[in-house]
Amino acid sequence: MAKTYKKADHIVSDEIVMEAKGICKSFPGVKALSDVDITIHKGEVVALLGENGAGKSTLIKVLSGIYKQDSGTVSMEGKEMHFEIPSDATNAGIGVIHQELNYVPTISIAENIFMGSIPKKWGFVDYKTMYRDAEEILNLVGLKLDPRMNIGECSVAQKQLIEIAKVMSNNAKVLILDEPTSALNDIEVGYLFQLIHKAASEGVSVFYISHKLDELFEVADRVVVVRDGCVTGQIDMKTATKDMLISKMVGRELSDMYPKEGGIAGNVALRVEGLTTDSLNNISFEARNGEIFGIYGLMGSGHQAIGAALYGQDIIHNGKIYVNDKELNPKTPLDAINAGLAYVPAERKTEGLVLNQSVAVNTMVGYYCKNKKRLLNTKLENKETQKWVEKFGIKTPTVDTIVESLSGGNQQKVILSRCLELAPDVLILNEPTRGIDVGAKSEIYKILDQLCQDGKCVIIITSEMPELLAMSDQIMVMSDGRTSGFVSREEATQELVVQYAIGG
């Protein structure tokens, strides 16, 4: 568990390992970085903090040779570097773990680790050496896996750890981790932090990017805040406070991250009895109108599968679902929609949106399906979409803008608009704020709270503890496909929830 982990004191030397000066980078129409200076010392953990679109990712891509800067210099240990292709950066000792993992799911763990440098003997693959070395590398991150296994069979967290092990094994001098914890549970996050500190105490410098403020206090020595392509603050973590970081980051005071006022609990809107699927075992719960019902579990506990089961994605073997006392037997998502459910999937880009279509098209797709329309109504489309754009403050040039060009938070709001356009009785959100920035998060919480006050039933399935505790009126904790405990808002503490989650 993250909280019990104590930050180790490692020594940061004065020696500058990597230095970037006056970095500018423009894309057509956007100045992504203007005059950014950043340094990192040997054995230092520097957190990069900023809203989505602030320029963090661009900076990382410049540092790791994926983008070429328009002006400015990057130097390693005093030597100016000119990265032409990403492997130049790798050879110079920069290891990057990207947000989106790179792996080939159909080949073994060992082959994935050694991709590009498979050990050979007389021109043939030296399997013995490869598997032995792979096992050693996996041990680095404490994974006990058979390197012959297909990487596709691993959990997301395991894949992430394998990726980290792979990068660390390259003797990197600078490690860059881009939101490494978004798919990890608290235990795995704790483990990752230990790894980072171990690396740092061995003299490796680490750039750490995350939206989760709490993490930074545990892992970082110094935080660099980026806003609108400029560095707006460099703060020693010993003196930093959460409010201070947030205000530097968004340029305004966020008085309350979780604006929970709450609604008045009403009738039971969703009742689930003995729901059993391939990954769920006899799940029963009731969610009421005017309340937020939180579902929490560690990775692989099946909490994600509840959304899929309720929404007709998985085959239900047993059990009953009632929406406002009417039985629902969802065979397809459309059945669930017609019964009054709406669902925000966990993966925005692969499950939520059709990225090459416009904001309006994505907003209205559910409406046409639910109302069995045959002809498009462009006028209504524009009017309704405009309504949501204004209501939720979606930052988009027009409603006809391709949704791919929007930031993560705005994309999430488009999915929310689509769900609310269905006028649902029950709104289910799977990881409602994964990978979006603090400002947008807070706005989404506000929307959810407002729905609650309007007497709607909201269900959030989440792996983020602060979000769960701050927003839920009732909490169901899951472990190994079963319900391991119910916790009410009053008695909810992180300790209790985690205890249930690990199966106690």
Partner 1 sequence: MESVKKGLKQVINKISHTSLMTVICALVAEIIFFSLMSPHFLSMKNFLNIGLYAAIVGCVSCSVTLVNISGNIDLSVGSQIAVVGMVAAVVSRAGYGWEITCLAALAAGVACGAINGFFITVLKLNAFITTIATMQSLSGLAYLISQGQSLPISDPKFIFIGRGYIAGVPTSLIIMLVCYVIFHIISKYTVFGRSVYMIGGNAQSSFLAGIKVNKVRFELYLLNGLMCGVAGVLLSAQTGAGMPNAAATYNMTALSAVILGGAALTGGKGTIFGTFLGSCVLAILNNGMTLLSVGSYWQYIIIGLVLLAAVSIDAVKGGSLKRKI
Contacting residue, 55, 297, 330, 366, with partner 1 by CB under 8 A: 366
Size of the site for partner 1 (CB under 8 A): 29
Please answer whether residues 194 and 34 qualify as being in contact, where contact means their C-beta atoms are separated by less than 8 angstroms: no
The reply to whether 82 sits near partner 1 by the rule CB under 8 A is no
The reply to whether 337 sits near partner 1 by the rule CB under 8 A is yes
φ, ψ of residue 65 to 5 degrees: the values are 80, 10
Distance in angstroms (rounded) separating the CA atoms of residues 318 and 476? 20
Instruction: Tell me which DSSP letter residue 150 carries.
Output: B
Contacting residue, 144, 255, 350, 491, with partner 1 by CB under 8 A: 350
Across 2-85, where does the E strand assignment appear? 16-27, 30-41, 45-49, 71-76, 79-81
Question: Tokens 């729905």 appear where?
Answer: 451
Residue 322 or 368: the one with the smaller Cβ distance to partner 1 is 368
E strand or H helix that includes residue 175: strand 174-178
Interacting span for partner 1 (CB under 8 A) from 158-166, 258-266, 344-352, 443-451: 344-352
Query: Which structure tokens are listed for 488?
Result: 């009410």
| Helices 438-453/408-421 angle, 10° precision | 20
The reply to whether 369 sits near partner 1 by the rule CB under 8 A is yes
The reply to whether 334 sits near partner 1 by the rule CB under 8 A is yes
Contacting residue, 374, 379, 390, 491, with partner 1 by CB under 8 A: 374
Residue 313 or 499: the one with the smaller Cβ distance to partner 1 is 313
Residue 120 or 349: the one with the smaller Cβ distance to partner 1 is 349
Contacting residue, 103, 131, 343, 392, with partner 1 by CB under 8 A: 343
The reply to whether 315 sits near partner 1 by the rule CB under 8 A is no
Contacting residue, 229, 294, 333, 424, with partner 1 by CB under 8 A: 333
Q: Is 216 left (phi over 0), alpha (psi -120 to 50) or beta?
A: alpha
Please answer whether residues 111 and 191 qualify as being in contact, where contact means their C-beta atoms are separated by less than 8 angstroms: no
Task: Report which of 249, 189, 244 is spatially closest to residue 48, judged by C-alpha positions.
Answer: 249
Interacting span for partner 1 (CB under 8 A) from 132-140, 228-236, 243-251, 327-335: 327-335
Residue 53 or 333: the one with the smaller Cβ distance to partner 1 is 333
Burial class of residue 80 in the structure, from the number of CB atoms within 10 Å of its CB (0-12 exposed, 13-18 middle, 19+ buried): exposed
Query: Which structure tokens are listed for 391?
Result: 């209501």
The reply to whether 373 sits near partner 1 by the rule CB under 8 A is yes
Distance in angstroms (rounded) separating the CA atoms of residues 293 and 19? 47
Contacting residue, 110, 164, 174, 353, with partner 1 by CB under 8 A: 353
Residue 184 or 428: the one with the smaller Cβ distance to partner 1 is 428
The reply to whether 439 sits near partner 1 by the rule CB under 8 A is no
Interacting span for partner 1 (CB under 8 A) from 9-17, 44-52, 133-141, 362-370: 362-370
Distance in angstroms (rounded) separating the CA atoms of residues 51 and 246? 10
Residue 361 or 475: the one with the smaller Cβ distance to partner 1 is 361
Interaction site with partner 1 (CB under 8 A): 85, 311, 313, 332-334, 337, 343, 345, 350-357, 361-362, 365-366, 368-370, 373-376, 418
